[in-house]
Structure 1
Amino acid sequence: MIAAIALTVILGVLAVFQLALALGAPLGRFAWGGSHRVLPAGLRIGSLVSIVVYALIAVLALDRAAVIDVVPDVVSTVGMWVVFAYFVLGIVMNAISRSKPERYTMAPISAMLAVLSLIVAVG
């Protein structure tokens, strides 16, 4: 349960970050390849979609950890393995970014999320 809550807290912080990006905060060097200081409209929409994805991941994690019960067990079990793979891919994508700020902040955050999601997936 602790891993699911920690995962949810980190996702909440990332959701605030993505909302700031969507609203035009000059933090683009930390996300989406780091090539924009302020994100263009398409990437701002992507940031809003990320918030929804983070919320869905949090629901899966909390459901898998039995903190809540809103989806069938098979959905949260399989879903958390998909989430784990998603964050492993995130590590790779952030690690190969041309943006040093993105590499040095988001790759380690993706690694933390991958470890936490693995713990939750294993149950």
Structure 2
Amino acid sequence: MTVQIAHLHATLCLALAILHIALAFGAPWSSWGPGLDVTQAAQGDAWAGPGRPLSPGGRFAAALTVPVLLYLALAIISAAGFPGLGWPRWTGWLAVAVQGALAALSLAARRPVERRFWGPCHAVLTAMALAVMTA
């Protein structure tokens, strides 16, 4: 069961990475991007709003998120014993901590989409990562 949970975790992380790649390349989903309106507001530009692409800073932030999500997926798969990935066990615990921090930040955010969608999404990913690590 642990391997299946790890694979589901990795699949969801991959889906989030694909979303962030699309955002980085200019997909008009800025209102759904997790935490990216903060970057836009700090820059004071006119990109914020539904149906608009992210600002250049927001695109850069989305692009930086992709390797983090891929690390989270690979660390948990390695902890589940996937052959060919001999990562140290502490990388899985670091992934749990990062995933938990993402959940806490999303649940504490001001934007409703962040609290209602991304918060529970990251909380589920955290629970799955924790289930793999404690098995």
2:22 alignment partner in structure 1: 20
Is the 1:21–1:47 Cα contact (8 Å) retained in structure 2? Answer: yes
- Of residues 35, 53, 65, the one that matches 2:68 is 53
The one-letter code matched in structure 1 to 2:54 is L
Unaligned ranges ≥5, structure 1: none
Is the 1:18–1:51 Cα contact (8 Å) retained in structure 2? Answer: yes
| 1:89 aligned counterpart, secondary structure | helix
TM-score, structure 1 normalization: 0.86
Distance 2:30 2:86 in 1: 35
Distance 2:7 2:123 in 1: 16
Greater mean deviation of Cα atoms: 102-111 or 24-33: 24-33
Q: Which structure has the larger Rg over C-alpha atoms?
A: 2
Matched, 1:95 2:107: yes
Distance 1:95 1:59 in 2: 25
Distance 1:87 1:56 in 2: 11
TM-score, structure 2 normalization: 0.79
Distance 1:32 1:121 in 2: 27
Aligned residue runs from structure 1 range 32-51, under 5 A:
32-34=35-37, 36-37=48-49, 38-51=53-66
What's the offset of the Cα at 1:33?
4.7
Q: Superposition RMSD on alpha carbons, in Å? A: 1.6
2:82 alignment partner in structure 1: 67
> Identity over aligned residues, as a percent?
21
The one-letter code matched in structure 1 to 2:106 is N
Query: Greater helix percent: which structure?
Result: 1
1:78 to 1:7, Cα distance in 2 relative to 1, 3 A: same
1:3 alignment partner in structure 2: 5
- Of residues 13, 31, 48, the one that matches 1:29 is 31
